[in-house]
Amino acid sequence: MVAIPQLEWRAIRPAPVILISGTEGFLADRALRVLRETLRAEDPSLEVSDLEADGYAPGELITLASPSLFGEPRLIRVTNVEKCTDAFLTETLRYLEHPADDTYLVLRHGGGVRGKKLLDALRSGTGGGIEIVCAELKKDSDKLDFAAAEFADRNRRVTASALRALVSAFSDDLAELASACQQLLADASEEITEVTVEKYYSGRVETNAFKVADAAIAGRYGEALVLLRHALSSGADPVPMVAAFAAKLRTMAKISGARGSSMQLAQQYGLAPWQVDRAKRDLQGWSDAGLGRSIELLAETDAQVKGAGRDPVYALERIVGVIARRGE
């Protein structure tokens, strides 16, 4: 039996111990960001620390939770609890018996049986914690509710048909759906309708720009070219397709050569941890020189599809080929 509150990610609130469970990493990152912003608003001197449970060294938790000289509140974020070491499991179970004052311990568990003893202790009420459940949104109705809430949070009007069009275009990636909502919130004025969505994301119901970018960045030229031509034939606008490549390559450039955990790099560059992890995967096989050449050509391609060139389709096909060859 679960004796602690089990809340959705939007309802996250401070507690001595906060378990963020479930497979949906994007929602988990969102919940953690909301918590950090809430605590910082209460006390700007908040001290934030990160631990990786799969590489935990004995004594780390108690050291970070120890009172500081000036008594600042502490937020300790722990990732990979589903892969935790025995030392982490033992010491965290002991910590739950007497959580430190003015300390908020966040445990991110992505699923699986590892750490079950710790989860059972938390859910029984030991430590006075709460659980934030971040399950994967599999149903379109759940994704519609998510998108609707994105606009409602900003008091913006959006039609039901616009929401359906967005979910159809981005049904395979919640992070991309959220990004599309945020772009519309930033760029579109007045009420957001299906026409607005079509203007920004035409052609993405069957093939979206990020799928083209993903295939090209991974070196799958033939697949990327087929996806590109299919998208264009179904009415995709070249401008947002170039923007998708730019978003991917900019993030890769930020992460290239950077050192630190995903959480640390995310905080340093204003990204979400899942974006850092994805950029690290995308960088495999790339050189700094190849990345630089691709970014330079991408800037030229952006100008061509916006009117500086005669053939935007040719410009797009050329950039897909260069990126698929990793800048060579």
Domain chopping of the chain, boundaries: 6-133, 140-324
pLDDT digits 0-9 by tens, 279-298: 898 898 899 999 999 999 99
Q: What is the mean pLDDT of each run of 10 residues along the chain (328 residues)?
A: 91 96 92 94 94 94 86 93 96 96 95 92 95 91 92 90 83 84 83 82 59 88 87 74 86 88 84 82 90 92 84 90 90
- CA distances to 148, 154, 183, 227 from 166, rounded to whole Å, are 10, 17, 12, 19
Equal fold, 6-133 vs 140-324: no
pLDDT digits 0-9 by tens, 192-209: 888 888 777 765 544 567
CATH architecture of 140-324: Up-down Bundle (1.20)
Q: Percentage of residues in the chain with pLDDT exceeding 90?
A: 51
Encoded tokens for 20: 């963020």
pLDDT digits 0-9 by tens, 21-34: 999 999 999 999 99
pLDDT digits 0-9 by tens, 211-246: 888 889 999 999 888 888 877 776 677 877 888 888
- The CATH superfamily of 6-133 is P-loop containing nucleotide triphosphate hydrolases (3.40.50.300)
